Structure 1
Amino acid sequence: MDGRSLKSTFSREEYSLPVATNPINLGKSDLSNKSPKPKVASIKHKWTLFVVLFVALLSGGLGAGLAFVLSSRPFQQHQLSADEAAVFNRNSEGMTSAIAGVPTLNRPVNILVLGTIMLTSDLPDAQSRPKGKYLAELDDNLNGMSDAMLLLRFDPSTKKVAVLSIPRDSRVNIQGVGKTKINFANYAGGAALSAQTVSQVLGDIPIDRYIRFNVNGFGKLIDALDGIDVYVPKKMKYQDDSQHLYINLNQGQQKLNGNKAIQYMRYRHDDLGDIGRVQRQQAFFRAFIDQKLKPESITKLPEVLAIVKDNIDTNLSVEEFLAIAGYTSKIDRKNIQMHMAPGRFSNPGEFDNLSYWILDNRLLAKIMNQSFGVMKQAEVSASDDSPQSLRVAIQDSMSQPEGSKKATTVLSKAGYAQVFPASDRWTKSIAKTQIIAQNGDRETAEKLRDALGIGEVVVESTGDIESDITVRIGKDWLLSNNIPLKPVTTTKPKPISGN
């Protein structure tokens, strides 16, 4: 990192917003011009039908009398113009079909997910919140900048789900705005401009649908699901009175309620800045899938749906929503691959002292080719994945240096020339060693796993960001190499208090 202190670079959430030099045709930057709301009676009618429809699905089929409601889009709060709708209609082929009356995906589908945050400081006339609120957001606003941006691909032909996290600080070109951070696209032109920008950055990939949710809705959703068990790797404490942003989490395994989950997902005030936040978002997403994508969660359906309805904007139809939910609930968790758009931090003074994530187009093209079916021009050129060229980080989870030294020796003898200790140890001891395909290359990670002789390959970006592959040493590695186990101290979190 050239000796750079990232703590100073990422010490604030805000930065000077660029001003569009020419009109933006996609979306609306005028936040006062909101789409007219449907009549209350119509909303209630559609929502009742949706609940009945979902219950019918769970019972084993769809009633013919409800077929007409399948094309409705009860979650859509922003009506798209013809130009905006065209962004999501590049693939004319329908994405669902009915099998035994149940909506089913019939082709790969790409969905852009945006987690939005509108700070009161973003609106010149906004009333400031009382001091003590941990987040100065407008509760029901979807028009802010996107704190989280993910592209999801559901592919029934491969029975996989691919997730690409795009750091909010990624420097890109936004139509009508110019070069700036990608999270500004939603603020400038809504979901359509965000989708257009992401598509261009990722090799002109077609984006079929979008989902936008606000921070307030995310917290309520977690509360409705009785919280998520997550391991907090370090104490997270941050205070910014100007934004009413207050984060205070203890290290350790704990159940996060809505309030704490938002703090965990938004914390970015350490040496990794926004990249550390992306890693935590991936860890949270995997925990969410493992714990909540189960039949028993259906008992929470009425409360969950009520929250989704008020805090989401999407152009998914009911039929499409059900097809995706059904597909995801049946998929093998090992077939959920989580990537992060690779790149580097900008250097001091490189862009007028603004901090950016500079995308690595070569590595990004490889991910798009392998997991999203996109050939990104000639940049997919063959890369050197030989053991000599791979950067392999060894991350200890057992507080026993002997295990890491042994792994380094084994891999070095196998021809891996660039093996180094991870910048941080993994503070939660794990039973099974993990081979983390940091840059999304499962095949290369499996070869390293064979050389090591032990471990589970995981495709995600939670390892050392300077590595191509991170080996997270677990208890099984120590046992297999006759290394005596030592007591591992764990940090017990303090009880969660209130919301």
Structure 2
Amino acid sequence: MRRLFLGLFLLFIGALAFWAYPLLGPAVRQGALPSREGLRAPLTLLVYGSSPEYSGYHQRAPERFRGLADTILLVRLDPVANRVVVLSIPRDVWVNLPGYGWHKVNAASPLGGPALMKEAVARITGVQADRYLVVSTEALRRGVDALGGVRVCVEKPMRYRDTAAGLDINLEPGCQVLDGKKAEGYLRFRKDALGDIGRIQRQQAFFHALKEQVLSPSGLLRLPRAVAAVEPYFQTDLSREEKGAILGFAMKQPHLMSLLLPGNFGGGGWNVDEEALRQLLAVYFDGEAPGEKGELTGRLVALVYGPGQEALVEKARLRLSELGLRVILHPVDLPPSRTEVLENGPGLLAQALGEALGVPYRISGEAVLGADLTLRLGEEAPFL
């Protein structure tokens, strides 16, 4: 019995060493072993993707993390609330860059690197990031492939080709597992009516799908390989201690909330709604209480549905009208995967409608633009 126990123990140790071995290199280079305490206080990160640079036609230049900023995220890591708040900033927001004049925010990266990016985002939001993390697009491909792909519901056909940039997007609608190349196409596609805003909304949906994949049994098994695959393709000013604290915080599985910088199209870019932004920052970055329960009467809700759901839509519209809501219909090519309420705001309205209908609700920038609330109608709608 003792020999059997010893053998099983050695087998377990061997399996654990085999699983963790890919983390050895990153741990040595980054000093990023998880801290048991995790974060002690909130930390704000500026995270953005660096587009590839080219030295000639089709010729990728060596990575120096100074390409145009692609995805721009202001991330609040809050150990008190045990949540991660991701505020997506459209790259088409105009900002007055010190020393350079008015530019779209994504130009701050090639003009002045991370320091100017932090200043640009601070001028837009009023929030000064503590640290930065810039990621090459190569990290996305390699990380997703190492995880075995990510399951995403592609809502419509996506086709686009840029031979100079080596980008060939050809995705059919439907729920499917995307490898690294297809995931990059899904996240970079913006040749539709919403342009960069639609791309941001797909990115936010992808963040949630990625989190589910990482926390799945297969994802946890592949996680060390994914970390090792991504590690050479990012640059940051985080200290070793901060990296370890963030990893320890991540192990506590904080709640993920994704938001879109409030605003509207205009002036060749994205105009910020300053009052709506102030409300978001007060709740999710400053820790203020959201206030009293939301009042639904007179609010505008976008009802999202797909082909074959017309009968359900009419019943849902009547139910929403009974609650005093104004309804606009928002048909899409692919029926939503589940019934849920979305709000790109403090969350009181989403909570009120979710509780009234008995369905889940989320704070998310995936909500339909121009509406106070979004109700996605899945195959099952318990309130009908």
TM-score, normalised relative to structure 2: 0.85
> Contact 1:408/1:419 (CA < 8 Å) preserved in 2?
yes
1:442 maps to amino acid: G
- 1:226-259 per-position Cα deviation (integer Å, ceiling 9, x unaligned): 1111111111001234544321111111111111
Give the AA of the match of 2:139: G
CA distance in 2, matches of 1:383, 1:446: 11
Q: Is 2:259 the counterpart of 1:339?
A: yes
In the alignment, which of 38, 42, 45 is matched to residue 104 of structure 1? 38
Distance 1:303 1:413, change over 3 A: closer
Question: In the alignment, what sits opposite 2:369?
Answer: 465
Q: Report the counterpart of residue 143 of structure 1 in structure 2.
A: 66
1:391 to 277, 300, 309: 300
SS in 1 for 2:324: coil
Say if 1:394 and 1:139 are closer, same or farther in 2 by CA, change over 3 A: farther
Q: State whether residues 398 and 475 of structure 1, in contact with CA within 8 Å, keep that contact through their aligned partners in structure 2.
A: no
CA contact (8 A) 1:73 1:315 kept: no
Correspondence list, 1:482-497, <5 A: none
Shift of 1:458: 1.1
Query: Letter of the aligned partner of 2:24 in structure 1?
Result: V
Aligned equivalent of 2:178 = 256
Quote the residue 1:412 is aligned against.
321
AA in 1 matched with 2:259: H
Residue equivalent to 1:117: 51
Q: How many residues align?
A: 362
Deviation at 1:328, TM superposition (A): 2.3
Q: Once the 2 structures are TM-superposed, how far is the Cα of residue 261 of structure 1 from its aligned partner?
A: 0.9
Shift of 1:119: 4.0
1:448 aligns with 2:353: yes
2:329: which partner in 1?
Answer: 421
Distance (whole Å) between structure 2 residues aligned to residue 426 and residue 264 of structure 1? 16
**Pairing 1:287-298 to 2, within 5 Å after superposition:** 287-293=209-215, 297=219
Matches within 5 A, 1:240-389: 240-293=162-215, 297=219, 299-300=221-222, 303-331=225-253, 335-346=255-266, 350=267, 355-373=268-286, 386-389=295-298
Q: Is the 8 A contact 1:223 1:258 kept in 2?
A: yes
Q: 1:202 & 1:148 partners in 2: Cα distance?
A: 16
Question: 1:150-229 maps to which residues of 2 (within 5 A)?
Answer: 150-203=73-126, 205-229=127-151
What TM-score do the two structures reach when normalised by structure 1? Answer: 0.67
1:165 and 1:339 in contact (8 A); partners too: yes
Match of 1:87 in 2: none
Paired with 1:394 and 1:137, the residues of 2 have a C-alpha distance of 44
Is 2:19 aligned against 1:51? no
Counterpart amino acid of residue 112 in structure 2 = G
Residue aligning to 2:6: none
Q: Structure 1 residue 320: deviation in Å?
A: 1.8
Structure 2 portions without partners, runs of 5+: 1-20
- Deviations 1:297-334 (CA, angstroms, capped at 9, x unpaired): 454455434433321101122332232223223235xx
> How much has 1:419 moved relative to structure 2?
1.4
Unaligned residue ranges in structure 1 (runs of 5+): 1-47, 55-68, 76-97, 121-125, 130-135, 376-381, 482-499
Question: Structure 1: which amino acid aligns with 2:175?
Answer: Q
The alpha-carbon distance between structure 1 residues 242 and 296, as it changes in their structure 2 partners (threshold 3 A), is: closer
Residues 292 and 348 in structure 2, CA contact (< 8 A), matched pair in contact too: no
CA–CA separation in structure 2 for the residues paired with 1:170 and 1:383: 32
Change (3 A) 1:397 1:51: same
